[in-house]
Amino acid sequence: MVVGLLGNESSDSNRLTLVTPKSENDVRLQATLDNQNPTGLPVGVVRKKVFLLKLKKILWNLLVLLIIGYVGILAYQNISQYQRFKVNGQSMNPTLKDGQKLIMKKFQKNDKLHRGDVVIIKVTLKDKEYDFIKRVIALPREHLEIKNHKVYINGKYLEDEGSTMGEEDCVIPDDSIYVMGDNRDHSLDSRKLGTMKISKVVARKVIPEKKL
């Protein structure tokens, strides 16, 4: 070890300072630390800050992925609620044309039907099941009458377009609805098939421009 003497030219000439020169490795290590840590903060503090920054970045990326996944699930659920149908026949003229393609919302167990809703309903004819598209005319527990080509619900005239063929006088069961096509003279519906179970409804489409 080399001892260096630093003399003070002041009157306090007896004060001596011992200095131990750094080795070459110490000098290189200090230079490396200075280059990597220009802030001058202790290495432990710098490492903690770097760790927190990396952790923040990881958590942020994870949050973004969770949001994207959540939005994707919502979009899938929304899309899966709808189904494509194609009109076959003239029974819903002039509202819906033969061959017209529709996107209708699937009917869920807790959904409620309203008068005027256009629905897709399963109908069995000669042991074969068909999808009928009709309009809801009467709801559960309502009294329906068809007389003199007019429809009455609970004694009140239902103002719809055109005349209605047939005669009817019935109370709709709790679990059923009464449906008809808009083209009254060319529609196979509840006037011949009777009331239909709500459980047979598979989809519905509310038509704002034609409310009953």
Residues with catalytic roles = 91, 134
Query: In whole angstroms, what is the distance from residue 183 CA to residue 94 CA?
Result: 7
Which tokens sit at 161? 């377009």
Which residues neighbour 27 within 8 Å (Cβ) at sequence distance 6 or greater?
none
Phi-psi region of 74 (alpha: psi -120 to 50; beta: other; left: phi over 0): alpha
Which residues neighbour 126 within 8 Å (Cβ) at sequence distance 6 or greater?
none
Is residue 166 within 8 A of residue 200, CB to CB? The reply is no
